[in-house]
């Protein structure tokens, strides 16, 4: 599979909206079989499958001689629970091999009808077959032989056609589409690796629709309107690593695939090596994709004879026994927490993580615990569902559970599955949500009004028109009770900052917010503020017990940063619901409730009502010292050790709380002002002994917080570091002149996880002999979404040129008593003597529009800018290119390219000059030059190509040529 992303057209495609592009069919009967499926098997196979063949006839001979059989592939797919196979042989890196007899010359074609045999075998066993087609001719001579025969195809067409060009290859492959459609009626569609302009100009897709209306069309990485499926290729970098949907950018009900390799390493095709398959990673992907209505398109690397390498076959065999016991939670289900309803997926208690699947017909929900908690219970938001029963789907065991404060807690879990513990949850549906709520907003994009927020349809949404801050006012019609907001944001972006195939992506979800209440829509009371996690699925804001007609949600900012222009300041919300109560079960209590009769309450400490608290109550009256306290007499653990002790508390004013374990000296911590009827949490470290322990809570302040509950669990793994984003500028290798130099460094640390950092310090380390001006940036504590920034000036020693140095910037902090740190560096190097200016393309002072950064080991700074060109939005603009004198200079452009491509270069906004380049391999730096005339002082140099893709850019420099 070609690892190249064409210009992303990341657009929401909903059939019921006036904004849907012409030709888009988001839902269609031909898609039904794939919507009902869980997975597909992606097979990359061709002439260059090891042992590599450079001759088509020899490849076919050895395939047949090796015993290839289509039934083996179909059976392996069924082991995986796959409903379809995508066959990738007409692939740019596999010799453009066609496994069917063809009358159209131009590349490898077999005499044996391997494709026809596979289609027939799949039909007999209920497995659909889809054919991969590439648009890309650039790898035609990668192996030292020409795999595209332009002369043969030109003779066939009666006109000269160069298959090594995109237009020529488009003509050739266009003919192949029609040959396949004519000869293989039982094929199920095409999986297309990006678009070709010739196809689009000649209405290829529309003709496929007309000729084969039941066939599916999938497109790699792009959201193309006429396609049925958006395939998301090989996404990594998420936390946890298996949660593939975190990297997806297309909201339901658009049909989406998660396309990924099962082998941990190596190419997408078999190269002769044996590569491990990470069972934990890939079972997790399988489940979390199902929990977001995404199809797991799993790529395996069949050998020449079609057999899977042993470790891949072993994974298939494991899946054949592991999936069937939980099949009902995966087949005919949709992702829960989205437009189909369901409880909240994501991070749960004590390190747990999982997803929800829901059967739209039976309304049964399935809680998939992919990462188990460090305790024996699972606690997640119930989204207003009244739970009747819970059972372990694998064992049938009925589970104890309790509901209160917006949470379902499944208790006493002993039988944890290694990869996915599944609980079947029967409910009576959602309750306690207001109807008839009307919404208005301070800003809306045309066609996406605020009324879409409360219309009951997740397929119509509100768009903020890129305004921040922005507010949404909810009118309940009259004064009513309200307890929380349930918000479904548009799943049109990944949930964390990342670079995908060289393009920057970021979350468009709400970060900092405030909620106000009013009875007259004029005078507003602030009722809650905070930061919302960048997470998929329904998110909740508990607002205590309000009695008002109007509620206003003010969104101060979103998680997306300016490094990803496509996502910056964007905000779209499908639905907002207003709740007026929480589900409450009776007979089973959540362990360690403060109000439990098992606890001692001394002095003024007493039980008070709190609907938003677990159990519906809390202990108040703390304050004035240890004489007013609540004491747990039986906090039991299995072994002596250090534990994580979480205290859920409420308070309307800033105060403090003290925790004493077994009569020892107390641990004191600050409690921020919030609400007296909506809990927040603080975790501390506690030393406990095996068996029973006492935990006493009180406040030394005159008026202390109330306590809802405590929870005890083992500490996270020693290696655990909360997710943070550390941004250091300048980014990229810094080139400086001779003599003493100063470099200004700024840094920003953001906490992205719902943890607490203590004793936070942000500071650079000066290279030997350098000095630092500026103090460390510090914070006593940080919560989710909060930022710490600092700025410093680093100065080299006087009287000497700098050597190659690196200035690391380190953020250090405490997490539950453990010292942790993250860091990033600023490398500095003296520019070559024959250059008067050098700057990396990836330098943070440049503007790159919708282009993006990517690693490049041979490049000068280890990075380059990729995806330049193809539109006016993808460019590299070098500002403040400073020279001493007005004159002509030689501009050196360092780049990588695979095949002929061009830059256009504009100096100070002047007429662009085309710079043609050529090369082999996108990992080999080349240099080209052109004369430029610059002004004394600051200049601008822009490299772009508005129409076609340009080379990747490493750096530019200026010489006195």
Work out the angle at residue 300's Cα, subtended by the Cα atoms of residues 236 and 119, and round it to the nearest 5 degrees: 130
Contact (Cβ atoms closer than 8 angstroms) between residue 262 and residue 236: no
> Is the pLDDT confidence value at 417 over 70?
yes
- Tens digit of each residue's pLDDT (9 = 90 or more) over 80-91: 999 999 999 999
How far apart are alpha carbons 133 and 194 in whole angstroms? 9
In this prediction, residues 525-535 reach a mean pLDDT of 97
Residues 6+ apart with CB under 8 A from 641: 687, 688, 714
Which residue, among 841, 791, 790, 781, has the nearest Cα to 814 in the 3D structure?
781
Which residue, among 210, 232, 213, has the nearest Cα to 222 in the 3D structure?
232
- Tens digit of each residue's pLDDT (9 = 90 or more) over 349-381: 999 999 999 999 999 999 999 999 999 999 999
How far apart are alpha carbons 848 and 565 in whole angstroms? 10
**Confidence at residue 22, expressed as pLDDT on a 0 to 100 scale:** 40
- Quickly count: other Cβ atoms within 10 Å of residue 342's Cβ: 30
> Is the pLDDT confidence value at 677 over 80?
yes
Q: Which fold has domain 832-961?
A: Jelly Rolls (2.60.120)
How far apart are alpha carbons 490 and 519 in whole angstroms? 29
> Is the pLDDT confidence value at 1 over 80?
no
**Domain 334-430 belongs in CATH node 3.90.79.10:** no
**Confidence at residue 16, expressed as pLDDT on a 0 to 100 scale:** 32
How far apart are alpha carbons 913 and 905 in whole angstroms? 5
Residues 6+ apart with CB under 8 A from 509: 489, 493, 495, 532, 534, 535, 539, 558, 559, 571
Pairing mode, strands 539-555 and 470-489? antiparallel
Residue written as tokens 């074609």? Answer: 109
Which pTM was predicted? Answer: 0.94
- Given CA atoms 104, 108, 112, 116 in this order, what sign does their dihedral have? negative
| The token pair that represents 197 in the structure block | 């302009």
SS3 content of the chain, % helix, strand, coil (to 5): 15, 40, 45
272 Ramachandran zone, left/alpha/beta (phi>0; psi -120 to 50):
left
Band of the pLDDT at 112, cuts 50, 70, 90?
Answer: very high
- Tens digit of each residue's pLDDT (9 = 90 or more) over 881-922: 999 999 999 999 999 998 789 999 999 999 999 999 988 777
Which residue, among 234, 193, 196, has the nearest Cα to 217 in the 3D structure?
193
How far apart are alpha carbons 85 and 121 in whole angstroms? 11
Which residue, among 229, 234, 166, 233, has the nearest Cα to 200 in the 3D structure?
166
How far apart are alpha carbons 840 and 59 in whole angstroms? 45
Contact (Cβ atoms closer than 8 angstroms) between residue 104 and residue 94: no
Helix or strand run (H / E) with residue 172: helix 166-183
Contact (Cβ atoms closer than 8 angstroms) between residue 290 and residue 357: yes
Residues 6+ apart with CB under 8 A from 345: 291, 292, 335, 336, 337, 354, 355, 356, 536, 537
How far apart are alpha carbons 624 and 594 in whole angstroms? 19
**Confidence at residue 10, expressed as pLDDT on a 0 to 100 scale:** 32
In this prediction, residues 497-509 reach a mean pLDDT of 85
In this prediction, residues 5-30 reach a mean pLDDT of 48
**Confidence at residue 500, expressed as pLDDT on a 0 to 100 scale:** 77
**Confidence at residue 523, expressed as pLDDT on a 0 to 100 scale:** 98
Which residue, among 649, 645, 677, 682, has the nearest Cα to 664 in the 3D structure?
645
DSSP string for 57-115? HHHHHHHHHTT--HHHHHHHHHHTTEEEEEEE-S-TTTT--BSS--SS-SS-B-SS-HH
| The token pair that represents 467 in the structure block | 């305004």
Count of helix runs (H) and strand runs (E) in the chain: 10, 56
How far apart are alpha carbons 392 and 33 in whole angstroms? 29
- Tens digit of each residue's pLDDT (9 = 90 or more) over 420-430: 999 999 999 99
In the chain, CATH 2.60.120.260 covers 438-579, 605-636+652-714, 832-961
> Exposed (0-12), middle (13-18) or buried (19+): which is 11, by Cβ within 10 Å?
middle
Band of the pLDDT at 103, cuts 50, 70, 90?
Answer: very high
In the chain, CATH 3.20.20.80 covers 29-322
Helix (H, G, I), strand (E, B) or coil at 226: coil
**Distances 65 to 68, 262, 302, 368 between C-alpha atoms, Å:** 8, 27, 15, 45
- Tens digit of each residue's pLDDT (9 = 90 or more) over 821-872: 999 999 999 999 999 999 999 999 999 998 989 999 999 999 999 999 989 9
Contact (Cβ atoms closer than 8 angstroms) between residue 301 and residue 94: no
How far apart are alpha carbons 714 and 287 in whole angstroms? 26
> Is the pLDDT confidence value at 44 over 70?
yes
- Quickly count: other Cβ atoms within 10 Å of residue 609's Cβ: 12
Helix (H, G, I), strand (E, B) or coil at 338: strand
- Given CA atoms 838, 840, 846, 851 in this order, what sign does their dihedral have? positive
Band of the pLDDT at 21, cuts 50, 70, 90?
Answer: very low
**Confidence at residue 920, expressed as pLDDT on a 0 to 100 scale:** 78
How far apart are alpha carbons 924 and 543 in whole angstroms? 57
Among 202-206, 219-223, 606-610, 756-760, which is the least confidently predicted range?
A: 219-223
**Confidence at residue 216, expressed as pLDDT on a 0 to 100 scale:** 97
DSSP string for 850-915? T-EEEE-TTSTTSEEEE--BSSTTEEEEEEEEEESS-EEEEEEEEEE-SSSEEEEEEETT---EEE
The beta-strand segments (E) located in 739-804 are 742-751, 757-764, 771-773, 777-782, 787-795
> Is the pLDDT confidence value at 283 over 70?
yes
Q: Please give the share of the chain, as a percent, with pLDDT higher than 90.
A: 89
Count of positions (residues) in the chain: 961
CATH code for the structural domain at 605-636+652-714: 2.60.120.260
CATH code for the structural domain at 29-322: 3.20.20.80
**Distances 715 to 369, 410, 429, 712 between C-alpha atoms, Å:** 19, 21, 36, 9
> Exposed (0-12), middle (13-18) or buried (19+): which is 472, by Cβ within 10 Å?
buried
- Tens digit of each residue's pLDDT (9 = 90 or more) over 197-230: 899 999 999 999 999 999 999 987 778 889 999 9
In this predicted model, which residue has the larger pLDDT, 250 or 483? 483
> Exposed (0-12), middle (13-18) or buried (19+): which is 256, by Cβ within 10 Å?
buried
User: What is the SS3 assignment for 614-679?
Assistant: HHHEEEECCCCEEEEEEEECCCCECCCEEEEEEEEEECCCCEEEEEEECCCCCEEEEECCCECCEC
- Tens digit of each residue's pLDDT (9 = 90 or more) over 549-605: 999 999 999 999 988 888 999 999 999 999 999 999 998 989 999 999 999 999 999
> Exposed (0-12), middle (13-18) or buried (19+): which is 623, by Cβ within 10 Å?
buried
Residue written as tokens 């199809």? Answer: 295
Within its chain, how far is the Cα of 423 from the centroid?
A: 26
| The token pair that represents 273 in the structure block | 């090596």
Q: What is the dihedral of CA 623, 625, 630, 633, to 10 degrees?
A: 170
**Confidence at residue 7, expressed as pLDDT on a 0 to 100 scale:** 31
Average pLDDT, the chain: 94
- Quickly count: other Cβ atoms within 10 Å of residue 506's Cβ: 25
Pairing mode, strands 294-300 and 255-261? parallel
**Distances 177 to 136, 221, 426 between C-alpha atoms, Å:** 15, 21, 48
Domain at 716-830, CATH class? mainly beta
In the chain, CATH 2.60.40.1180 covers 334-430
Q: What is the dihedral of CA 604, 607, 608, 612, to 10 degrees?
A: 130
Q: Which fold has domain 438-579?
A: Jelly Rolls (2.60.120)
């Amino acid at each position: 599979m070609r690892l190249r992303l064409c210009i992303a057209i990341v657009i929401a495609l909903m059939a019921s909206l006036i904004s849907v592009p012409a030709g888009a069919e988001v839902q269609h009967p031909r898609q039904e079989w794939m919507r009902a499926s869980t997975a597909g098997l992606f097979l990359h196979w061709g002439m260059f499958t090891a042992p590599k063949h450079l001759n088509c006839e020899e490849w076919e001979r050895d395939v047949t001689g090796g015993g290839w059989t289509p039934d083996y592939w179909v059976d392996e797919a069924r082991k995986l629970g796959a409903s379809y196979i995508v066959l990738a042989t007409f692939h740019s890196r596999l010799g453009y091999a066609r496994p069917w007899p063809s009358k159209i010359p131009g590349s490898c074609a077999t005499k044996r009808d391997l494709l026809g045999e596979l289609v027939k075998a799949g039909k007999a066993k209920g497995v659909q077959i889809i054919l991969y087609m590439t648009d890309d001719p650039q790898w035609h001579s990668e192996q030292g032989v020409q795999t595209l025969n332009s002369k043969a195809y030109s003779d066939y067409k009666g006109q000269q056609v160069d298959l090594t060009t995109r237009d020529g290859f488009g003509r050739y492959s266009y003919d192949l589409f029609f040959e396949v459609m004519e000869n293989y009626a039982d094929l199920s569609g095409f999986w297309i690796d990006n678009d070709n302009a010739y196809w689009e100009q000649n209405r290829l897709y529309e003709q496929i629709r007309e000729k084969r209306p039941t066939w599916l069309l999938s497109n790699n990485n792009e959201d193309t309107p006429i396609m049925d499926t958006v395939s998301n290729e090989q996404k990594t970098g998420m936390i946890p690593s298996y949660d593939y949907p975190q990297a997806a950018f297309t909201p339901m009900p658009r049909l989406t695939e998660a396309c990924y390799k099962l082998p941990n390493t190596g190419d997408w095709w078999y190269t002769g090596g044996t590569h491990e398959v990470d069972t934990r990673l890939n079972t997790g992907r399988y489940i979390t994709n199902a929990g977001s209505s995404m199809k797991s398109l799993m790529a395996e690397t069949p050998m020449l004879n079609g057999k899977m390498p042993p470790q891949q076959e072993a994974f298939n065999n494991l899946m054949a026994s592991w999936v069937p016991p939980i099949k009902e939670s995966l087949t005919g289900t949709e992702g829960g927490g989205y437009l189909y309803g369901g409880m909240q997926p994501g991070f749960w208690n004590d390190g747990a993580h999982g997803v929800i699947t829901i059967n739209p017909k039976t309304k049964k929900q399935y809680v998939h615990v992919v990462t188990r908690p460090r305790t024996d219970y699972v606690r997640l938001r119930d989204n207003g569902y009244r739970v009747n029963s819970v059972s372990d789907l694998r064992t049938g065991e009925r589970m104890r559970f309790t509901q209160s404060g917006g949470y379902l807690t499944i208790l006493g879990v002993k039988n944890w599955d290694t990869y996915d513990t599944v609980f079947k949850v029967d409910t009576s549906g959602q309750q306690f949500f207001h109807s008839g709520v009307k919404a208005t907003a301070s800003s809306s994009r045309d066609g996406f009004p605020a009324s879409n927020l409360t219309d009951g349809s997740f397929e119509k949404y509100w768009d903020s028109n890129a305004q921040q801050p922005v507010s949404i006012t909810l009118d309940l019609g009259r004064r009513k009770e309200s307890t929380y907001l349930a918000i479904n944001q548009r799943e049109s972006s990944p949930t964390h900052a990342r670079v995908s195939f060289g393009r920057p992506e970021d979350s468009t979800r709400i970060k900092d917010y405030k909620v106000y209440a009013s009875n007259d829509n004029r005078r507003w009371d602030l009722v809650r503020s905070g930061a919302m996690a960048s997470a998929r699925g329904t998110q909740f804001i508990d607002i205590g017990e309000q009695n008002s007609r109007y509620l206003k949600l003010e969104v101060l900012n979103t998680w997306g940063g300016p490094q990803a222009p496509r996502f910056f300041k964007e905000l779209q919300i499908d639905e907002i619901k207003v709740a007026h109560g929480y589900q409450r079960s009776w007979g089973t209590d959540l362990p360690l409730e403060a109000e439990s009769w098992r606890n001692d309450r001394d002095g003024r400490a007493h039980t008070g009502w709190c609907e938003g608290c677990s159990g519906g109550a809390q202990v108040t009256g703390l304050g004035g010292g240890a004489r007013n306290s609540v004491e747990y007499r039986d906090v039991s653990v299995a072994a002596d050790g250090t534990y994580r002790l979480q205290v859920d508390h409420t308070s309307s004013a800033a105060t403090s709380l003290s925790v004493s374990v077994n009569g020892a000296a107390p641990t004191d911590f600050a409690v921020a002002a919030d609400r007296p009827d909506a809990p927040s949490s603080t975790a501390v470290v506690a030393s406990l002994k095996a068996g029973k322990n006492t935990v006493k809570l009180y406040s030394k302040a005159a008026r202390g917080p109330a306590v809802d509950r405590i929870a005890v669990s083992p500490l996270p793994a020693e290696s655990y570091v909360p997710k943070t984003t550390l941004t250091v500028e300048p980014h990229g290798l810094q080139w400086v002149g001779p003599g003493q130099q100063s470099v200004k460094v700024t840094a920003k640390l953001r906490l992205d996880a719902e943890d607490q950092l203590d004793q936070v310090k942000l500071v650079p380390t000066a290279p030997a002999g350098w000095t630092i001006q500026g103090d460390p940036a510090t914070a006593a504590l940080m919560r989710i979404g909060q930022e710490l920034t600092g700025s410093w000036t680093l100065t080299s020693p006087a009287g000497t040129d700098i050597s190659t140095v690196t200035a690391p910037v380190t953020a250090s902090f405490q997490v539950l008593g453990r010292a942790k740190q993250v860091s990033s560096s600023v490398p500095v190097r003296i520019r070559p003597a024959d250059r008067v200016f050098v700057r990396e393309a990836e330098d943070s002072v440049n503007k790159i529009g919708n282009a993006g950064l990517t690693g490049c080991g041979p490049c000068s700074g280890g990075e380059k800018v990729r995806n330049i060109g193809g539109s006016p939005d993808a460019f590299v603009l070098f500002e403040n290119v400073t020279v001493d004198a007005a004159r002509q200079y030689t501009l050196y452009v360092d780049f990588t390219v695979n095949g002929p491509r061009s830059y256009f270069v504009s100096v100070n906004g002047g007429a662009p000059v085309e710079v043609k380049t050529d090369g082999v391999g996108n990992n080999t730096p080349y240099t080209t030059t052109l004369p430029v005339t610059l002004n004394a002082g600051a200049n601008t140099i822009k490299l772009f190509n508005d129409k076609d893709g340009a080379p990747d850019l490493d750096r530019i420099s200026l010489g006195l040529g």
